[in-house]
Amino acid sequence: MLISFAKMQGLGNDFMVVDTISQPIYFNQSQIRRLADRHLGVGFDQLLLVEPPQQPDVDFHYRIFNADGNEVEQCGNGARCLARFVKIMGLTWKYKLRISTLKGVITTRMHKDGNVTVEMGVPNLEPDKIPIRYAERNLEYSVESDGIRHKVGAVSMGNPHCVMTVDNLESTPVEGWGKSIGENHIFPEQANVGFMQVISEREVNLRVFERGVGETLACGTGACAAAVVGILNKQLGKRVRVNLPGGYLTIDWEGEGQSLFMTGPAEFVFEGQIEI
């Protein structure tokens, strides 16, 4: 079967985006893994599928699959790319959209400069919702990596994140710690692991090891999680610039119980066809 797709990226976090409204299709795990291969396939961090709305008050539904073929709940950079994709492809005339995911409905707003703002919803801090195997909610949780005990913050942005504050990102073993912490038994669904270096109350540097992918150039929900943890710990103000290897995102959050807003770029790279 020959399918059409677009390649998109947000701060270097890249996606294969497929419109399954006009070309209904199902991908199995082995197909996704092959398509994700940067030598044998299209190459991407995540596959995004645009589907018809499942509720009367939303514009689209979308699904997210990591490069390993596993479906995940949310992707901030992906949401921005999806919003631009449906506009470029003529699937909508709207600049503001409501889009449903596995974890609920988000809203997106396209700006004239090409940036997209996504209302990511209210961060969930309850241990059983993150999920993390702790009976009580804390600002910090203890987790072990290679015999070393670390203190991390934890939050769900529709997917599980833990965030560690470090003094120097360059000397932090992101690959090793990211994998061992993210796969620790304390996280029953594994976790995305962020390493945050605070520059000022308005700015942080961040590297993220994503479950099922590895370290990426950018992680939208990881940037949101880092801002939440920093704000709760009174390290950061309500608007934060998050510098990632691929560029920066702006996060706005008024505090607990409030929706979080993420703003950043979404770029169309190319479109093509591939046989599966």
Q: What is d(CA 81, CA 110) in angstroms, rounded to the nearest whole number?
A: 10
Kindly indicate the confidence band of residue 195, based on its pLDDT and cuts at 50, 70 and 90: very high
Task: Give the per-residue pLDDT at 146.
Answer: 80
% of the chain surpassing 70 pLDDT: 100
Q: What is d(CA 203, CA 227) in angstroms, rounded to the nearest whole number?
A: 9
Task: Say whether 75 is catalytic.
Answer: yes
pLDDT, average across residues 181-199: 97
Q: Is the pLDDT of residue 212 over 90?
A: no
3-state secondary structure of 166: coil
Residue with tokens 């949401």: 79
Task: Give the per-residue pLDDT at 172.
Answer: 95
Q: Which of 75, 81, 162, 224 is catalytic?
A: 75
Q: What is d(CA 108, CA 84) in angstroms, rounded to the nearest whole number?
A: 10
Domain spans in the chain, listed from the N-terminal domain onward: 2-121+265-275, 141-257
Homologous superfamily of the 141-257 domain (CATH)? Diaminopimelate Epimerase; Chain A, domain 1 (3.10.310.10)
Task: Give the per-residue pLDDT at 71.
Answer: 95
CATH class of this structure's domain 2-121+265-275: alpha beta
Q: Please give the single-letter amino acid code of residue 248.
A: Y
Task: Note the pTM of the prediction, 2 decimals.
Answer: 0.91
Domains 2-121+265-275 and 141-257 share a fold: yes
Whether 266 and 33 have beta carbons less than 8 Å apart is answered as: no
Task: Say whether 219 is catalytic.
Answer: yes
Q: What is the mean pLDDT of the chain?
A: 95
Q: Which of 81, 162, 219, 224 is catalytic?
A: 219
Based on the number of CB atoms within 10 Å of its own CB, is 90 exposed (0-12), middle (13-18) or buried (19 or more)? exposed
Q: Is the pLDDT of residue 239 over 90?
A: yes
Kindly indicate the confidence band of residue 37, based on its pLDDT and cuts at 50, 70 and 90: very high
Task: Give the per-residue pLDDT at 249.
Answer: 97
Q: What is d(CA 158, CA 74) in angstroms, rounded to the nearest whole number?
A: 5
Kindly indicate the confidence band of residue 175, based on its pLDDT and cuts at 50, 70 and 90: very high
